Amino acid sequence: MYEHLKVKNIGRISYLEALTLQHDIHQKCVENPENGALLLLEHNPVITLGVKNSSAGNVLVNQSVLVSAGIELVETDRGGDVTYHGPGQLVGYPIVSLRELGLDLHSYLRSLEQVIIDLLAEYGLVGERNGPAGVWVGDKKVCSIGVAVRRMVTYHGFALNVNPDMSHFRFINPCGLNFEQISSMSELLGFVPEMNEVKAKYANKFALVFGITLEE
């Protein structure tokens, strides 16, 4: 059972740099679960394709449009469909041993959702589950979740829309949804939450839900 888990507040980083970092920590965590970590960060604008077969078909524009908008297109090894990451979106990658947590994949996903639900409640928003992994407020999805598990150690994670450029979601059917079904905390609240505050609240809720003491 985990007692402590490191939190790495990285700031803004490219998707591929973060993926390389995840793979490195993942390997170390496989060797020793105490080497796991929770990465909290923002990405440069990027559209990622999950392993679901429909991913590529849910990108609605060609490569030249994405290039002109300054958006990368990257194939990755997480579960789920196509999604967008960019500044103003809190991305979290928990790299943890499911054995040490005493969880299976289903209960792990539900716990990730619960952390977001508890975080949103701090801002007076009622988060809910609605089918595939993720969190909704009313009929708007505010958080996507897509994970991978290798040798019982997780990587990839969640993306919470705090205050991203929502126009970038028009380039895709995010997670197979329509653009109109996606929202952000700032749209729902009428003000922009401070990112470092959201990160701190997330870390606190993560520690409570998973029963782990987090260390910077």
**Four-CA torsion 103, 104, 109, 111, nearest 10 degrees:** -20
- Secondary structure of the chain as H, E, C letters: CCCEEEEEEEEEECHHHHHHHHHHHHHHHHHCHHHCEEEEEEECCEEEECCCCCCHHHECCCHHHHHHCCCEEEECCCCCCEEEECCCEEEEEEECEHHHHCCCHHHHHHHHHHHHHHHHHCCCCCEECCCCCEEEECCEEEEEEEEEEECCEEEEEEEEECCCCHHHHHHECHHHCCHHHECCHHHHHCCCCCHHHHHHHHHHHHHHHHCCEEEC
Provide the residue type at 44 as one letter.
Answer: N
Please give the positions annotated as active site.
Answer: 175
